[in-house]
Amino acid sequence: MDYSSLWMFPVLLAILLTGFPIAFSLMGVAAVFGIFTFGDALVHQFVDKVDEVASNFVLAAVPLFVFMGTMLERSGIAERLFEAMHLWTRRLPGGLAVGTVLMCVIFAAATGVIGATETVVGLLAIPVMMKHNYNKGLISGTICAGGSLGTIIPPSVVVILMGPIANVSVGDLFMGMVFPGLVMAGLYIIYIIVRCTIRPQDGSLVVDDEVLPTKTERLWITATAFLPAALMIFSVLGSIMLGLASPTEAAGMGALGSVVLAACYRTLTFSTLRIALLNTVQVTSMILLILLAGSMFSGVFVAGGGIQLTKGLITASNLSPWATLALLLVIVFLAGFALEWISILLIFLPVFIPIVNDLGFDPVWFCILFLIVIQTSYLSPPMAPAVFYLRVIAPPQITLADMYRGVVPFIILQFITLGIVMAFPQIVLWLPSKVLGF
């Protein structure tokens, strides 16, 4: 039996650890192993992969979601949400952090872009929490964990890419991730309140001389801040869940809605539009180039018999289905220490999905478990993209040690969420079954 295709993974990992760009690493490894295995026929396989990615209708949603997120950053909706959330939560133990998590949930559901949520929310929330002497670790953990909720709160750009790779409906994934995302956010909030009740010095009640608006005024501020975001969320997610639009069509409505919101807030200028378009081109080009490279890599691996070899090794290990599932998730978690989410998605998901199907597990449920584990990689050093996003926007008083220390409790909460979803699959499968009837 030829085991050469299995060497693709250690060779790729070695190249990535040198700092070489992900897309060119994937393409290079695929080209070298493909030439040795298939010779001149490799050219035709790569051309087919280019055509497959370029003609995938679902992927058209990626630039639309990126554009929507960029426009919402600049429309003023984040500032209004921040003010409205904290009007209601500021008198709770850890209320500023609780309001920040709630804002992250809403903003993630309105944008689908991961880094945007953390950056925007961090810039608004960090100065306020620092002013009220919040624990620096709690500030760091709240911003990093809340910002990364964009992975598990729909609509998520990660899911737009995951659907075609796993051969699973993007709409099913969007519906399946709703409750796990809310469970995770709920655990964050409970942890913050409990911690700040036991240790008031970490996030004490906000007691100052500022006169709060009346209840009627607070309701009005909340309505004017929340309703535009709620309308945006419904136009994107509601249209998908009700079967009125495909993910791409819903993303188009969201992109148009973000422009309308910017116009309503009088922030729609030529400069804003230009920056949004440039950002969209840059981010989309990066994502789709890496996706194409990953498609080439997985194509060579599969054609070289890699899937059959992997299945054979797992079968030979004589593990139970649940132990095999746990092993797959552990591999994803360990990969998160060194690889970015898109690399993990492209390298491991095409290999794991056939195994999961053979084991009799639901692929939608497994994809959500995969997403939760990917989210832990946002907070896990040494890569920890969420920590590096925070490092860019955080003041010098918040050190890397504060950040790494602060994310540990939230990583534990993410694993608790993973355990809950594994123990109760209906948390994922109930909503798609009710909406789609499968």
Cα-based distances in Å from 213 to 78, 103, 226, 409: 20, 20, 17, 35
Q: What are the start-end ranges of the E strands in 268-314?
A: none
pLDDT given for residue 179 in this prediction: 93
pLDDT given for residue 195 in this prediction: 93
Q: Taking the mean position of all CA atoms in its chain, how far away is CA 191?
A: 21
Q: How far apart are CA 285 and CA 142, in angstroms?
A: 31
CB 102 within 8 A of CB 86: no
Question: Tokens representing 252?
Answer: 């188009």
User: 242-269: per-residue pLDDT in tens?
Assistant: 777 777 888 888 888 888 888 887 888 8
Give the start-to-end residue ranges of the domains of the chain: 56-268+304-436
Angle separating helix axes 95-111 and 215-233, nearest 10 degrees: 30
Angle in degrees, CA 119, 124, 129, rounded to 5: 115
Q: How far apart are CA 184 and CA 378, in angstroms?
A: 15
Q: How far apart are CA 357 and CA 369, in angstroms?
A: 14
Q: How far apart are CA 193 and CA 92, in angstroms?
A: 7
Mean pLDDT in each 10-residue stretch from start to end of the chain (438 residues)? 68 77 83 81 77 75 80 73 77 86 82 67 83 88 87 82 85 89 94 92 66 73 77 77 77 85 83 85 80 80 72 76 90 76 79 88 94 84 72 82 89 94 93 70
Cα-based distances in Å from 365 to 353, 424, 435: 11, 10, 16
pLDDT given for residue 186 in this prediction: 94
- For tokens 């969209």, what's the residue? 280
pLDDT given for residue 259 in this prediction: 87
pLDDT given for residue 364 in this prediction: 93
Q: How far apart are CA 154 and CA 160, in angstroms?
A: 10
Q: What is the pTM of this model?
A: 0.80
pLDDT given for residue 319 in this prediction: 82
CB 107 within 8 A of CB 117: yes
The alpha carbon torsion through 187, 190, 191, 194 (nearest 10 deg) reads -160
pLDDT given for residue 1 in this prediction: 47
pLDDT given for residue 239 in this prediction: 78
Angle separating helix axes 215-233 and 77-89, nearest 10 degrees: 130
